Structure 1
């Protein structure tokens, strides 16, 4: 690790940006690569009609996997049979009764899409918008444009844990785009231009088998690690969406530079790559290993939260 942690501006100097590529008003970035041809390419992978969903449970009494410092989703009844038993429920002609509840949660406290304006450095978010546009709400490059557009295309799952013969990668264990290509070759699948890239590390699945204290102790997720070559690969491959079973989509602290989450800036802020985090792909991965099909139709749309910096999503996979 570098003795002096560089500023992101210094670390990412000279690397590609997609600012202005789709116009000065663009707010969905590399999702623009998912045109009708990519949708049809995804549909062409559907063979058996099998479906899978990737969202983790919300408000699980045993806990939800979340970024340290955030609180799990809290669901509360506001109306149930007890109200009617005590005579405090509303009355309807015909004596219908019902239950109602609400949830308080971080918008990024479940499986979710980051808004492209979620992270920044040097006072500018994606596409050069002023970081001041995030004050009081993510008014530019928020999650709403992603929710209104939706995300549909050919998805490819790369199972790094299985490739390395593990149930789950170790804390802080890293891999590169070259490792992804090696794993893809071993799976018999090709990562093609404009594919939605899904990566399984086993990390989120392990949350439900571990003691929470052990899961969060010395918190350092496994994941992709920064390099100029990796950023250029994402740029050349025109990857629209990175989807992983970790909370941050990358190793927490870059082992070489010491910078926290540099790919959020290199890929999301600069290239406009959409980040989807905290998926649970274990059942899908088992099925892919069984039938040998690692590509599929990926369909997702985060909730349409006005000025949101992110929003929950339940991606659907169709094979």
Structure 2
């Protein structure tokens, strides 16, 4: 169960941060997903006027760059069908199976609230010692995330800065987001999913080594601003959403802490936003039903945008 209202142990010289229990109650596990309801779904569905579908996930395989030490592989087998044999049957049936070996945080993915915390405390005051096990988490797991059907908005930072791709370490601030949203006519509403296009995903195909070494992205102030808009998820076409290298190497992944731990907002990474950006789409129906992997803290996903 979540700890009672208290403060996480502050870093030296830092004031305590009163960030739990959650606004949704001390037992809550779904965070900002509480904001989604039938009315929000119907509002999002009304955005579909063209029947145009966009795949937001990317193909994932052995060569996909990932945050170290993550990797994965798929092994295909034809069990007991050696040397061209078939399954004993008059119709000579053949079949193949596959085995997945690897990490779930590779390629297009969603972060659950059990993925990243503050001093071993995770969303809503859940302490690692109470729910984190090598066999899977007993709270905040991927299987507990409700279906995400809502309005999505695209913030095209590459177009705003007049170049096809932002650079590694290039920071997107709260003011940047405000200005681009205003200029591009993007209005974020409660319960939305916000996707940021930087152009970085293009490197997956032509320079995967560079893709995985750094990235443009938001800073913590931008994460705080997005949280204030009461969104349910923040995503980008990068592998970590935040700018890397970090401006301050002694403060890492603060945006993740702000979104996941403090505000119960999911993070969507390696979103393929190229087609949406090319079509200058600003809003769309966003649909995600993640795999229900019991006890997992991340999952490989393929969300869909529909206009």
TM-score (structure 1 length as normaliser): 0.85
Query: Aligned partners of 1:92 and 1:10: how far apart in 2?
Result: 70
Is 1:316 aligned to residue 304 of structure 2? yes
Change in CA separation of 1:248 and 1:131 when aligned onto 2, cut-off 3 Å: same
Query: Aligned partners of 1:12 and 1:278: how far apart in 2?
Result: 33
| Alignment-derived partner of residue 183 in structure 2 | 186
CA contact (8 A) 1:150 1:301 kept: yes
Change in CA separation of 1:11 and 1:116 when aligned onto 2, cut-off 3 Å: farther
- Count of matched residue pairs: 297
Query: Aligned partners of 2:283 and 2:231: how far apart in 1?
Result: 15
2:291 to 293, 300, 303: 303
| Alignment-derived partner of residue 274 in structure 1 | 266
Q: State the secondary structure of the residue aligned to 1:37.
A: helix
More moved, 47-56 vs 104-113:
104-113
Q: State the secondary structure of the residue aligned to 2:81.
A: helix
Q: State the secondary structure of the residue aligned to 2:149.
A: strand
Q: State the 1:262 CA deviation.
A: 0.6
| Alignment-derived partner of residue 124 in structure 1 | 121
Q: State the secondary structure of the residue aligned to 2:294.
A: coil
Change in CA separation of 1:41 and 1:8 when aligned onto 2, cut-off 3 Å: farther
Query: Aligned partners of 1:43 and 1:16: how far apart in 2?
Result: 37
Q: Deviations over 1:158-195 (max 9, x none)?
A: 11112111221101000112211211222222222332
| Alignment-derived partner of residue 4 in structure 1 | none
Query: Aligned partners of 1:222 and 1:37: how far apart in 2?
Result: 35
2:35 to 33, 38, 45: 33
Larger RCO (CA under 8 A, 6+ residues apart)? 1
Is 1:67 aligned to residue 55 of structure 2? no
Structure 1 residue ranges without an equivalent (≥5): 1-6
TM-score (structure 2 length as normaliser): 0.88
Query: Aligned partners of 1:91 and 1:45: how far apart in 2?
Result: 53
Query: Aligned partners of 1:181 and 1:296: how far apart in 2?
Result: 19
Q: Deviations over 1:190-214 (max 9, x none)?
A: 222332101111112222121x344
* 1:233-312 correspondence runs (5 A): 233-256=225-248, 258-287=250-279, 289=280, 293-312=281-300
CA contact (8 A) 1:16 1:271 kept: no
Q: CA RMSD in A?
A: 2.4
1:177 to 174, 180, 183: 174
Q: State the 1:13 CA deviation.
A: 4.7
Query: Aligned partners of 1:123 and 1:214: how far apart in 2?
Result: 31
Query: Aligned partners of 1:79 and 1:156: how far apart in 2?
Result: 44
| Alignment-derived partner of residue 3 in structure 1 | none
Change in CA separation of 1:159 and 1:189 when aligned onto 2, cut-off 3 Å: same
